Amino acid sequence: MGLIVQKFGGSSVANAQRVMNVAKIVTDTYKAGNDVVVVVSAQGDTTDDLIAKAKEINPMAPKREMDMLMSAGEQISIALLSMAIEKLGYPAISLLGWQAGFLTNSVYSSARIKKIDTSRIKNELDNKRIVVVAGFQGINKYDDVTTLGRGGSDTSAVAIAASLNADKCQIFTDVDGVYTADPRKVKNAKKLSEITYDEMLELATLGAQVLNNRSVEMAKKYNVELEVISSLNPIPGTMVKETAKMEKMLVRGVTKDADASRISVIGVNDVPGVAFKIFSKLAAKNINVDIILQSVGRDGTKDITFTVGVDNAAEAVKAVESLPFIGDAKVVRDDSVAKISVVGAGMETHPGTASTMFEALYNQDINIQMISTSEIKISILIDEKDADKAVAAVHEAFFGSE
């Protein structure tokens, strides 16, 4: 007996039969004597479809209106799941983000949760109801609906688990755990029984969309153990926690992030303060910069190249071009790039990791455009057309071909 938070992603609630399947999992947990809070995402590709509808009308739609639109998907799922639970003979109540007490900041489309007023959820649990909460959404201080960024339902679930001090937080999805690479793309990817918060955070940030990176950050902060588990195949999943069995692995996983855009500022004056002014301008616009490369100055000029998420690329180019000192320097954007990364705490003490990765790419004749490293990851930027081949080759170099 305890309090369990269960989150179900879009594919787990994609149609009526899947919704009934989720209702069965949830009510089985409830029948076993637990209090249950369920967090659900929009059905199937609903969020993508809503975004496509907006683009047809206004590709530069205000982010506030995008949030109003995108939050509609989860509203459908919570109502359908609650009906499904009632059909199985159990009491359920659906709550939108604001009804569940999610207060966020006002950064529309990637809002951060400031606090959760859990009184309504607790009330409903006291009345022995299964509480079904819309993931991915909240409300800001102006009473406007906000969304938490793509994949944000994972964060909603972890936030509820942390606020209610839940005994378990299970993230149900369409694969049965976290693998050494995307199991849909890499045939011989291996399932991990455990992984640390830090490694999972890197994997998630670098493109393994199985968990949203903010959810992992929050799970680490509040020490919420997560289980990533299949909604269709009832076998143990992957535990995400503070310490994990190493399983003799130097590298834990290989990821691809194709949503990167490379921006080069070519021929800017080689004087102090240029990098400061460019990156503070981008920070002021809430644009996250990833890999940065600056060339050695020559003939009084230098080049600064950096990557941003493709959604921010147009705004980033505009922001840099607006800087008064840019003058004759050229700002060039290239979206046909992908970032490939290897992640693992073990690599800290093994100097050969980078060369193994680079050799695998060389053997495939793949050119590296940028490199960035930290204690537990190595990332490289390459041409997007080579990305899947690169992931397969790098994965094979570290994990073999079976």
Q: What kind and span of H or E run contains 74? A: helix 72-87
Q: Which residues pair with 342 in a beta bridge?
A: 254, 378
Nearest approach, Cβ of 149 to Mg ion (angstroms)?
Answer: 11
101 binds Mg ion (CB under 5 A): no
State in angstroms the smallest separation of the CB of 80 from ligand ASP.
14
Closest among 362, 367, 358, 285 to 320, alpha carbons compared: 285
Q: What one-letter code names the amino acid at 245?
A: K
Give the Cα separation of 196 and 247 in Å (integer). 12
Partner in contact with 136, chosen from Mg ion, ligand ADP, ligand ASP, none, beta carbon below 5 to 8 Å by kind: ligand ASP
Q: Which is nearer to Mg ion, 151 or 344 (CB)?
A: 151
CA distance 278 to 292: 12
> Binding to ligand ASP by residue 151, rule CB under 6 A?
yes
**Whole-number Å distance between alpha carbons of 387 and 381:** 9
The least CB distance from residue 299 to ligand ADP, in Å, is: 45
List the beta strands (DSSP E) in 3-150. Answer: 3-8, 35-40, 92-95, 102-104, 113-116, 130-134, 137-139, 145-147
CB of 61 to ligand ASP, least distance (A): 17
Strand spans (E) along 242-280: 253-257, 260-269
On the CB side of 232, CA atoms within 13 Å amount to 12
Per-residue mark of binding to Mg ion, 4-43 (x: CB under 5 A)? -----x----------------------------------
Is residue 376 a contact point for ligand ASP (CB under 6 A)? no
Within residues 169-198, the interface with ligand ASP by CB under 6 A covers none
For ligand ADP, give the closer residue by CB, 257 or 290.
257
> CB–CB of 40/85 below 8 Å?
no
Is residue 180 within 8 Å of 395, Cβ to Cβ?
A: yes
Beta strands at 113-116 and 102-104: parallel, antiparallel or unpaired: antiparallel
| Total residues in contact with ligand ASP, by rule CB under 6 A | 13
**One of 97, 138, 152, 177 touching ligand ASP (CB under 6 A):** 152
Contact with ligand ASP (CB under 6 A) among 11, 47, 163, 213: 47
CB of 7 to ligand ADP, least distance (A): 8
CB of 136 to ligand ASP, least distance (A): 4
Q: Are 242 and 295 in contact (CB under 8 A)?
A: no
Residues found near ligand ADP in the complex (CB under 6 A):
9-12, 41, 151, 173-175, 178-179, 181-184, 208-210, 253
Nearer to ligand ADP, 158 or 331 (CB): 158
Site for ligand ASP in 58-77 (CB under 6 A): 73
- Distance, in Å, from the CA atom of 67 to the CA atom of 106, rounded to the nearest integer, reads 11
End-to-end C-alpha distance for the chain, whole angstroms: 41
Positions in the binding site for Mg ion (CB under 5 A): 9, 151
Positions in the binding site for ligand ASP (CB under 6 A): 9-10, 41-42, 47, 73, 135-136, 150-154
